[in-house]
Chain A
Amino acid sequence: MLGVKPDELARWLEEFKGPLHSFLRRMAGEAAADDLFQEVFVKALKAAGTYEDRQRPAAWLFTIARRLAVDHLRRERPQASLDQTSGEGASLAETLPGKDPRPEAELESSETRARIMAAIDVLPTDQREVFLMREHGGLSFKEISEALGVPLNTALGRMHYAVTKLRRTLENQ
């Protein structure tokens, strides 16, 4: 069956809002994430007639989100490198907040999150997108390779590099 109705898309918005917005934040940056998030659903509405119900909604939406993020990065290329959207060359201390009035446990948890986000942000784009599509979107490697138009082994290779680099970065922090 082809097509998806606005009511169904509204349900998917609720279901995937966190993973999609987090994906866009890490791929395109905080400033662009909100606009791109809305654009995902505008594009989805326009392409609603082409949706096939054999596709998983997450794979379909993440494919749209990934295209928008890549287009955004291409437009921004003169200002920012595709490979490093934030924090390159900056020490972890520079990427973390200074004095913070929040309770210690909350601060520690937010510092951990900031460390992880900084480590993800310094991954090359092709590895970052595979890692996030897998870990945020829950896409299978087959779905990721289809979304990216690359062989399955290429998607697996990029994930392997991403995991290895993340471990190294987080261990060194």
Chain B
Amino acid sequence: MTHENFENALLLRAAGELPPGDAAGLAAHLAECRACRSFEAALTASSAAAKLTLEDPSPALVRRTRAVILSNRESPAPSLPWNWIPAGLGMALATLLLMVGRQHPRPPLEPAPEAALAQEQDELSQTEADLEELEDLLTEAEFDLSENVTGGDL
């Protein structure tokens, strides 16, 4: 090993990184090398000096930084039943309305008197009203669902 290698070995030893096999050789070299002993002393002194310059940041800065860190905590996920209830209600209502529609099929079209035409008009208006109500319910269910999924943050 060269002299420079021994000085590097001293640095590694101070950092706890010296391979165990190199320890005996370093100790033997130190015993006879004044320059390396001097470097070792400088290393110890500079390390002690560095410790004297350690200083904590102000408590206010630590508080601010901690607040920034903790503001990034994930909000707890909503529980599953609440998540699915609005969507389930929407689907159930849609299915119900479809079934009602099938149980009352429209009569075949025939040339009809005015009274029959008026009744047909009424039924048509009722169907349109039902469809609007269905749309409103679905919109409401979608809104409830997005509120639950995002936790209302958006």
Q: Are A116 and B53 in contact (CB under 8 A)?
A: yes
Instruction: Report whether B15 and A167 are in contact in the complex, using a CB–CB cutoff of 8 Å.
Output: no
A96 on the interface (CB 8 Å rule)? no
- The answer, among A7, A134, A162, A163, for a CB contact under 8 Å with B15, is A134
Q: Count residues of A near B (Cβ-Cβ below 8 Å).
A: 46
**How long is the Cα–Cα vector from A159 to B61 in the complex, in angstroms?**
31
Is there contact, CB below 8 Å, between A156 and B11? yes
Q: Is A57 an interface residue (CB 8 A)?
A: no
Q: Which residues of B contact A6 (CB under 8 A)?
A: 69-70, 72-73
The one of A45, A119, A163 in contact with B42, judged by C-beta atoms closer than 8 angstroms, is A163
Q: Are B17 and A142 neighbours in the complex by a CB distance under 8 Å?
A: yes
Partner of A17, one of B15, B16, B57: B57
Complex contacts, B56 vs chain A, CB 8 Å: 17-18, 21
A162 to B69, CA, bound (A): 35
**Contact between chains at B11 and A141 (CB < 8 Å):** yes
Q: Does B68 contact A (CB under 8 A)?
A: yes
Q: Is the interface of B mostly helix, strand, loop or mixed?
A: helix
Chain A residues near B46 (CB, 8 Å)?
A: 131, 135, 162-163, 166-167
Check B49 for interface membership: any CB of A closer than 8 A: yes
The A/B interface has a contact count, at CB < 8 Å, of 105
CB distance from A22 to the nearest CB of B (A): 5
Q: How far is the CB of B74 from chain A (nearest CB, A)?
A: 8
A71 to B17, alpha carbons, bound, how many Å?
30
B66 A18 Cβ-Cβ under 8 A: no
Question: How many of B's residues come within 8 Å of A, CB to CB?
Answer: 33
Chain B residues near A167 (CB-CB < 8 A): 42, 45-46
- In this assembly, does B102 line the interface, its C-beta being within 8 Å of a C-beta of chain A? no
Q: Does B84 touch A at the CB level, under 8 Å?
A: no
* Across-interface contacts of B69 in A (CB, < 8 A): 6, 9-10, 13, 41, 45
Contact A170/B49 with A37-B65, A134-B15, A163-B39 known, Cβ cut-off 8 Å:
yes
- Decide: B15 and A160 in contact? CB cutoff 8 A: no
A42 at the interface (CB under 8 A from B): yes
B34: CB under 8 A from chain A?
Answer: no
* Chain B residues, Cβ within 8 Å of A164: 39, 42
Residues of B within 8 A of A113 (CB): 52-53
> Across the interface, do B11 and A160 meet the contact criterion of CB distance under 8 Å?
yes
**Considering the chains assembled together, what is the distance between the CA atoms of A119 and B64 in angstroms?**
31
Tell me which residues across on chain A come within 8 A of B52, comparing CB atoms: 112-113, 116
CB pair B17–A160 under 8 Å, yes or no, is no
Which B residues from 1 to 26 make CB contacts under 8 A with A? 7-8, 11-12, 15-17
With A6-B70, A13-B66, A37-B57 known as contacts, the answer to whether A136 contacts B50 (CB < 8 A) is yes
- A28 CB-CB contact with B under 8 Å: no
Beyond the given A17-B56, A135-B50, could you list 4 further A-B residue pairs with CB under 8 A, ordered by the A residue number?
A6-B69, A116-B53, A136-B54, A164-B39
Residue numbers of B with Cβ under 8 A of A are 7-8, 11-12, 15-17, 39, 42-43, 45-47, 49-58, 61-62, 64-66, 68-70, 72-73
Among all A-B residue pairs, the 3 with the closest Cβ atoms: A135-B50, A21-B57, A167-B42
